[in-house]
Amino acid sequence: MILTVTLNTALDITYRVPALRPHASHRVSEVTERPGGKGLNVARVLAALGHEVTVTGFTGGATGRVVQDRLTDTPGVVDALVPVSGPTRRTIAVVDEHTGDTTQLNEPGPTISAAEWSAFQEAYVDLLASASAVALCGSLPPGVPVGAYAGLVRAAKAADVPVLLDTSGEALRRGVAARPDIIKPNAEELAELTGSHEPSRATQDARRRGARAVVASLGEAGLLALAPEGRWRATPPARLRGNPTGAGDAAVAGLLSGLAERLPWPDRLARAAALSAASVVAPVAGEFDRVAYEELLKRVAVTAEVTAA
């Protein structure tokens, strides 16, 4: 099975409005609720691709119970969330149907006690024993040490489980030093990590900091990957209009499934880019349009660049 870790799980609530205007009242045309947080979004995409997935992280309060109830309705996803006393956060996405733009509001998450963090670490090590790959995703809730992901990366490597890290800020800076197999920052996160806004230079610097492979998500420009085997760009054929929330998580699912299946890098990147683009036309994060995905997968351009890895 593939394991995804979401330390700051959420209940994702998406509102769709005809047009979003500041300082105005709005009539909501549609409301959806889904288990959220980056790793849970990744898990739903992996399950839709046919993988067995276990999700872990923290859950608490009434919102946490809703998240777990909704997970029981997701085929292929096993709930191994660890209970905490504080309430799971909510995230609110407001989609402007006229422009396609999305406005996101993210709550901070529950404060995690030292005992709760210790209980999670024990559960995580137990889950690694049956994992083929693991993704560590998203922000850290209050109370979790800033170096948490570095410790989780080291535990995965000690268990000989390949690990992908998708976070930002100081958590990424600390985590990359533990030498994860893949990191997947977006352009802003990569620049924050390395100080460089030039993606080619920044991916090289991120590798020097410890990541075995770096896959940078560059929005409409697709993906740029640097690994020991080489460097590639994966570019979707066209920009799709819709809700971009969760596009990066869909890309992580493509990379992680390719890692677990031991696909060559060009095939991993084509899958990741196609899933990312196909998720934009899906109604909520953690889903993708299968027809669009299958068509995009045939048309994603993956090109090798001649450079030292």
Q: Mind telling me the catalytic residues?
A: 249
Instruction: Name the DSSP class of 309.
Output: -
Q: How many CA atoms lie within 13 A of 173 on its CB side?
A: 8
* Residue 286 near residue 34 (C-beta atoms within 8 A): yes
Alpha helices by DSSP H, listed for 137-246, are: 148-158, 169-176, 187-194, 199-208
Dihedral Cα 45, 50, 56, 61, nearest 10 deg: 60
Centre a 10 Å sphere on the Cβ of residue 206 and count the other Cβ atoms it contains: 23
The phi, psi pair for 278, rounded to 5°, reads -70, -20
Q: Among residues 119, 130, 125, which one has the least CA distance to residue 152?
A: 125
Cα maximum dimension of the chain = 55
Pairing of strands 102-106, 89-96: antiparallel
The residues with which 230 forms a beta bridge, in sequence order, are 227
Residues 243, 282: contact at Cβ < 8 Å?
Answer: yes
Q: Residue 217 pairs with which residues in a beta bridge?
A: 186, 223
Which whole-number Å values give the CA distances from 101 to 18, 90, 182, 243, 244, in the listed order?
Answer: 11, 20, 30, 7, 8
Q: CB burial class (10 A; 0-12, 13-18, 19+) of residue 294? A: exposed
Chain position carrying tokens 């900091």: 209
